[in-house]
Amino acid sequence: MAKRIRKAVFPVAGLGTRVLPATKSIPKEMLTVVDRPVLQHCVDEAREAGIEHFVFVTGRNKAVIEDHFDMAYELEDTLQRRGKKKEYDALMADLPAAGATSFTRQQAPLGLGHAVWCARDIIGDEPFAVLLPDMITLPGQRGGRCLAQCIEAYEKHQGNIIAVEEVAPQDTHMYGVVSVGADFGHTFEISGMVEKPPQGTAPSNFIISGRYVLEPQIFPILERVEKGAGGEIQLTDGMKKLAEAQGFFGVRFDGKTYDTGSKVGFLAANVAFAMARDDIRPGFLEELKKIVGPL
Ligand code: G1P
């Protein structure tokens, strides 16, 4: 029996240099897609996938993230006194249970592998999920957002899981890339991986798209892994080492993933998430038509 995935790590220490000046004083994870912070969309995805404990690896100037997942006494009191029950209930539904969040700081931007390693004591000796909050997802035909599909694959294969997505060959150098081994359709065995391969050298077009389920044996490896691409401690390098001892499987997520860390991706996410909302789509579509012509 595969162990249940109860905890998820959200590395949220990044500086957001791709969307300056928006992120000068606001953490990039708090920018809104429709009416929810990007990070809240990721937490929603994790919750839907059964995650019970949310571990945020933050950094300086990110304290507002902690406030977002706490009670907001004055606001809640005012909403209640003014009879704004709908708004109050929505806030309460989003509030994580007491003790269900942990915050730790990555003191220096040493890379994603280092950020995940910072969560080692909070995770302990159990498999866990990682969600990169730049990436937000909408459900596909198979049901569920990306992490739910990853956990389903974890239960099936009982190995480490990486969500992948196919991109154009000229874009592979910006990502981690996996090699495809035995193929099972929705999932496949990962036979190799490389972080940010130079143009023209990627082993496939399947990029690592920001959702992982990992065994805790990754932690002692991350403690020792050397700096890799970009001079950073890379999660991909740690996983590559772990793959010498344990199985890794790719999940072809059949929904849509948006990279909100880029300006175009962020705008596209806002359009897609607005169109996915029954209460917003009709009015939004009218406005869109005025801007871009008939759709
Ligand atoms: C990170 C990972 C990379 C992955 C990417 C997805 O890179 O290291 O493997 O493909 O996220 O967004 P970063 O975006 O931090 O450079």
pLDDT, one tens digit per residue, over 195-211 is 999 999 999 999 999 99
In the reported structure, the alpha carbon of residue 11 is separated from the centroid of ligand 1 by a whole-number distance in angstroms of: 11
Among the atoms of ligand 1, which is closest to the Cα of residue 210? 6
132 Cβ closer than 6 Å to some ligand 1 atom: yes
Q: Please name the residues in contact with 294: beta carbons below 8 A apart, sequence gap of 6 or more.
A: none
In the reported structure, the alpha carbon of residue 48 is separated from the centroid of ligand 1 by a whole-number distance in angstroms of: 23
265 Cβ closer than 6 Å to some ligand 1 atom: no
The listed CATH number (3.40.50.1100, 3.40.50.300, 3.40.50.720, 3.90.550.10) that belongs to domain 7-292: 3.90.550.10
**Which string of DSSP letters, residue by residue, matches the chain?**
-PPP--EEEEE-----GGGTTTTSSS-GGGSEETTEEHHHHHHHHHHHTT--EEEEEE-TT-HHHHHHTS--HHHHHHHHHTT-HHHHHHHHHHSPPTT-EEEEE-SS---HHHHHHTTHHHH-SS-EEEE-TTEEEE--TTSS-HHHHHHHHHHHH-SEEEEEEE--GGGGGGSEEEEEEEE-SSEEEEEEEEES--TT--S-SEEEEEEEEE-TTHHHHHHHPPP-GGGS--HHHHHHHHTTTS-EEEEE--SEEEETTSHHHHHHHHHHHHHT-TTTHHHHHHHHHHHH---
Among the atoms of ligand 1, which is closest to the Cα of residue 234? 8
At 294 the pLDDT is 76
pTM for the predicted model, two decimal places? 0.95
d(CA 25, CA 60): 11
User: Phi and psi at residue 126, in whole multiples of 5°?
Assistant: -145, 155
In the reported structure, the alpha carbon of residue 43 is separated from the centroid of ligand 1 by a whole-number distance in angstroms of: 19
User: Phi and psi at residue 203, in whole multiples of 5°?
Assistant: -75, -15
Q: Which residue has the higher pLDDT, 64 or 143?
A: 64
Q: Which residue has the higher pLDDT, 28 or 2?
A: 28
Beta carbons of 103 and 66 less than 8 angstroms apart: yes
- Fill in the amino acid letter for 223: E
Test site for ligand 1: of 112, 160, 193, 196, most ligand atoms within 8 A of the Cβ: 112
At 1 the pLDDT is 63
| Residue indicated by tokens 């496939």 | 204
Quickly state the pLDDT bin for 14 (edges 50, 70, 90).
confident
Q: How many CA atoms lie within 13 A of 239 on its CB side?
A: 28
At 143 the pLDDT is 85
pLDDT per position as a tens digit, 59-102: 988 999 999 999 999 999 999 999 999 999 999 999 999 999 99
In the reported structure, the alpha carbon of residue 162 is separated from the centroid of ligand 1 by a whole-number distance in angstroms of: 12
| Nearest Cα residue to atom 14 of ligand 1 | 175
Test site for ligand 1: of 106, 110, 137, 175, most ligand atoms within 8 A of the Cβ: 175
213 Cβ closer than 6 Å to some ligand 1 atom: no
In the reported structure, the alpha carbon of residue 207 is separated from the centroid of ligand 1 by a whole-number distance in angstroms of: 9
135 Cβ closer than 6 Å to some ligand 1 atom: yes
Among the atoms of ligand 1, which is closest to the Cα of residue 209? 6
